[in-house]
Structure 1
């Protein structure tokens, strides 16, 4: 919602201010299709040239996510902590039964109680692989923490490919605007014998290219790239919570304390309250 408001506000202020200052939109509108073709086409072509197929496939869904906002919310973090509580408690009371849950998470009653988490293959894989490794005596908390940090860093790097690609495109757009403007000047110089009013209109059309390149770069694409980076960073904290709980468990802390460590690792704005999490855990114990 805020993304759409930001775009509308940007357009309203830029073109509204231009019109109120006495500018004529017909000059911009007449040149706009050709400038969009030159600048937008060149930007799209360079984007395709400089990125892999995986990045290209992920671009549109990732851009949509910028308007939808982060995937994970406060309730998801609370559900994650409840899931981790159940798994850690089971790991200590009945390791053999735990194997059934981590080997086939999609058939596990514990995982299936949290469908949003189960739908995230990376989250489920991190949890299952770590608990499976611990059952095989790979339970050095420092080595596991280093392993999880490297794995999560790789995920973060992959998730940041599209924001970085859009940021690079934003950096290129002003230069592409200059290319369009130079082409307009070349066209104007070919009509140097025309009267001043005709030349003035042609020069104005040429300058639309410079304006459009700068406007698209700093008014739309760069803010979109920054928004995407913020959303991805917000969502990646979900994996940091998983790591915190698992490492605390390998240090043999009490299960409740492990979950509290994870709660403290959640971003402040969506961190479940201590009382809300305590009530949720109490309900789980009562159901068990």
Structure 2
């Protein structure tokens, strides 16, 4: 919602100020289709040149993040902590029983209670792969933490590709606007024998290209890229939480303390309260009993 509000504000402030200053839309509206074809078309073509098919699909899909925001909400962080609590308790009580859950999470009763986490393949694989390595005696906290850091860094770099691609387009739009403006000047020079009112219209039309390139770059595409990067970085906290809890588990802290370590490393605006999480874990203990 806030993304739509931002778009409206940009349009109203820019064009509202233009009208208040006595400007008229005649030249802009007349030149807009041609300038937009040149600038927008060149930007799309450059974007396709710079990215492969997977990158194009990834970027188009991630544009929705500008309006949807982060995928993980406060309720999801609470559910993730509850899932990890159940798995850690089971791993300590009955390591053999844990195997059926981490080898086939789709049919696991524990994972099934947290469908949104289960649906996210990265989160599920991160949990299962780490717990599986622990059952295979790969349980040195420093080594496991290093492996998890490298894995999450690679995932984050991949997820940031779409914002980098959009930022590259934003960086190129002002120059493409100049290209369109230069073509407009060439057109104007071909009509140099026309009266001043005709030349004025042609020059104004050429300047629309410069305006449009800068306007799109700094009013839309650049902010889109920034918001996409911000959402990716915010969602990355969800996976960092998994790392914190599982590393605390390797240090043989009590299960409740492992979850508290994760809770305290959760960003404040999505962090469940201590009392809320404690009550949820008590309920899980009662169900298990």
State the TM bucket, normalised to the shorter chain.
over 0.9
Q: Specify the SS of the correspondent of 2:22.
A: coil
Deviations 1:236-276 (A, max 9, x none): 10000000001000111000000001111111111111111
Check conservation: 2:59, 2:165, Cα contact below 8 A.
no
Alignment of 1:1-288 (within 5 A): 1-288=1-288
Output the TM-score relative to the length of structure 1.
Answer: 0.99
Q: Distance in 1 between matches of 2:225 and 2:271?
A: 26
Gaps of 5+ in 1: none
Cα distance, 1:85 vs structure 2: 0.2
Cα distance, 1:207 vs structure 2: 0.1
Q: Distance in 2 between matches of 1:170 and 1:268?
A: 32
Q: Distance in 1 between matches of 2:151 and 2:66?
A: 24
Cα distance, 1:116 vs structure 2: 0.3
Q: Distance in 1 between matches of 2:50 and 2:103?
A: 39
Q: Specify the SS of the correspondent of 1:193.
A: coil
Aligned length, in residue pairs:
288
Q: Distance in 1 between matches of 2:147 and 2:36?
A: 47
Deviations 1:72-121 (A, max 9, x none): 01000000000000000000000000000000000000001000000000
Q: Distance in 1 between matches of 2:23 and 2:139?
A: 70
Q: Distance in 1 between matches of 2:267 and 2:49?
A: 37
Cα distance, 1:54 vs structure 2: 1.2
Cα distance, 1:198 vs structure 2: 0.2
Deviations 1:19-73 (A, max 9, x none): 1111110110100000110000000000000012111011222001210111001
Q: Specify the SS of the correspondent of 1:72.
A: coil
Q: Distance in 2 between matches of 1:276 and 1:229?
A: 31
Check conservation: 2:59, 2:161, Cα contact below 8 A.
no
Gaps of 5+ in 2: none
Runs of 4+ in 1 over 2 A off after TM superposition: none
Q: Distance in 1 between matches of 2:10 and 2:65?
A: 20
Q: CA RMSD in A?
A: 0.5
Output the TM-score relative to the length of structure 2.
Answer: 0.99
Q: Distance in 2 between matches of 1:79 and 1:64?
A: 25
Q: Distance in 1 between matches of 2:6 and 2:195?
A: 42
